[in-house]
Amino acid sequence: MGIFSSVASKKQNLIHNKFKNRTLTYLSIPYCASLIISGLVVIGNLNITFAIITILIMFAIQHIVKGPYYSLTNRYLNSFSNPEINTKIYSAKALVEGLFRFLISLLASFLLEHLNTSYSLILIGCIFMIILVLLLDYMRTRVGLKPEEYKKSDIEFTFVK
């Protein structure tokens, strides 16, 4: 799976050029869908060979998405920054990611305590798909704009003492 991730990461520039401002959408939706499909395949009591192949393909999709995601995230965070504030941006990113990983781990632990793995995958996939659609709708007018379309206050950084 690491090979899939590294090959996809190497193609991040191609992905960015092809999808432009829709890159997050084209990376996130397949990830959420792969979680849902993996859970449905297990629940469906399908042929074991078909189920294993399908689940491996879904895991491959997840890793193909992860590769360029990390590269492109760093690229996007540097879009309107300079070395002086990059540390602050990456610190904030690490803090927010850590917090969300903690919350997701709690949710997964709770779900796995009450449901089996396949139902947990489906539920997490559906929850994230709903959150993703709401987030993408919110971001439509705020992120991925041309530099001149942003308000000056959105792209200027003020140091607070």
pLDDT band with cut points at 50, 70 and 90 for residue 138: confident
pLDDT tens for 111-121 read 999 999 999 99
Phi-psi region of 47 (alpha: psi -120 to 50; beta: other; left: phi over 0): beta
pTM of the predicted structure, to 2 decimals: 0.80
- Which pLDDT score, from 0 to 100, does residue 76 have? 79
At residue 153, does pLDDT exceed 70? no
pLDDT, the chain, mean: 86
Q: Are 4 and 79 in contact (CB under 8 A)?
A: no
pLDDT at 155 over 80: no
Tokens at 58, concatenated:
């879904």
* Token pair of 15 as six digits: 């992905």
pLDDT of res. 159: 63
Confidence of residue 22 (pLDDT cuts 50, 70, 90): confident
For tokens 């849902």, the residue is 36
Q: Is the pLDDT of residue 107 over 90?
A: yes
At 84, the amino acid letter reads: E
pLDDT tens per residue, range 56-106 = 999 999 999 988 888 888 887 777 677 778 888 888 889 999 999 999 999
